[in-house]
Amino acid sequence: MRKKTITGCLAVMLMLSVGSFTMAEDAMPKPDGDALYNYISKVSPYSKWSYWPDHEGMLEGRAPHAPQHKVFVNQQGIDSKKPPVQFGTIQVKENYSSDNELKAITVMYKIKDYNPKDGDWFWAKYSASGETQKAGKLKGCISCHATRVANDFVLVHEFK
Ligand code: HEC
């Protein structure tokens, strides 16, 4: 009888720990460049996400970004029918040279209460191989994207 209870307890503990492990895997990343890259490359690879319906595939870009780009957006973004987008939205922009070489990855990640005065976006820039070059409340990124505050700082997609 006693033995059974202990085995039962162990089974429950095991289930709980497996459960919390899975939850940690699925949880959104904290506002940190490396944690965000791990999320978009391993936990939820952005190459499997969608394009905005009005911005699909490789398109021409404007300075200071690259000559060509692709912008991927996760389900939270796609589900956002009007600005501001849902918390947890991530947009990943692959920046390519004119001869189709991946040069850099720039990311916007919407986090509740992260930076309310500038739309709660976490900004990050990575090398083509994923090293964090800069991340956080990046003034340079904000100043330019803030030209479209009413569109929640998003430039490639028009909310209707
Ligand atoms: C001088 C203006 C400017 C600056 C500075 C800038 N961007 Fe952008 N960004 C743009 C424009 C314009 C687009 C639209 C796509 C294009 O033309 O390349 C864009 C598009 C994007 C997108 C695609 C989603 C969207 O909102 O349209 C991401 C992600 C992005 N930028 C991230 C960043 C990050 C991260 C930084 C800072 C490291 C940054 N940007 C700095 C002008 C800027």
The C-alpha atoms of residue 60 and residue 116 are separated, in whole angstroms, by 31
pLDDT at residue 22, as a whole number: 47
Does the CB atom of residue 110 touch ligand 1 within 6 A? Answer: no
pLDDT digits (tens, 9 = 90+) for 104-123: 999 999 999 999 999 999 99
Does the CB atom of residue 138 touch ligand 1 within 6 A? Answer: yes
Q: How far is the CA of 15 from the centre of ligand 1 (A)?
A: 44
Give pLDDT tens digits along the chain (160 positions): 455 555 555 555 545 555 444 455 468 999 999 999 999 999 999 999 999 999 999 999 877 778 999 999 999 999 999 999 999 999 999 999 999 999 999 999 999 999 999 999 999 999 999 999 999 999 999 999 999 999 999 999 999 7
Token reading at 98: 């004119």
Q: How far is the CA of 3 from the centre of ligand 1 (A)?
A: 62
- CB-count exposure of residue 138 (10 Å: 0-12, 13-18, 19+): middle
Q: How far is the CA of 76 from the centre of ligand 1 (A)?
A: 19
Does the CB atom of residue 95 touch ligand 1 within 6 A? Answer: no
Return the percentage of the chain with pLDDT > 90, whole number: 79
- CB-count exposure of residue 148 (10 Å: 0-12, 13-18, 19+): middle
Which atom of ligand 1 is closest in space to residue 66's alpha carbon? Answer: 18
Does the CB atom of residue 66 touch ligand 1 within 6 A? Answer: no
78 Cβ contact partners less than 8 Å away, ≥ 6 residues apart: 50, 52
pLDDT digits (tens, 9 = 90+) for 57-71: 999 987 777 899 999
Does the CB atom of residue 65 touch ligand 1 within 6 A? Answer: yes
CA contacts within 13 A on the Cβ side of 37 = 19
Does the CB atom of residue 102 touch ligand 1 within 6 A? Answer: no
The owner of tokens 């070489």 is 101
The owner of tokens 């209870």 is 5
Distances (CA, A) of 31 to 35, 111, 118: 7, 8, 15
Token reading at 151: 């569109």
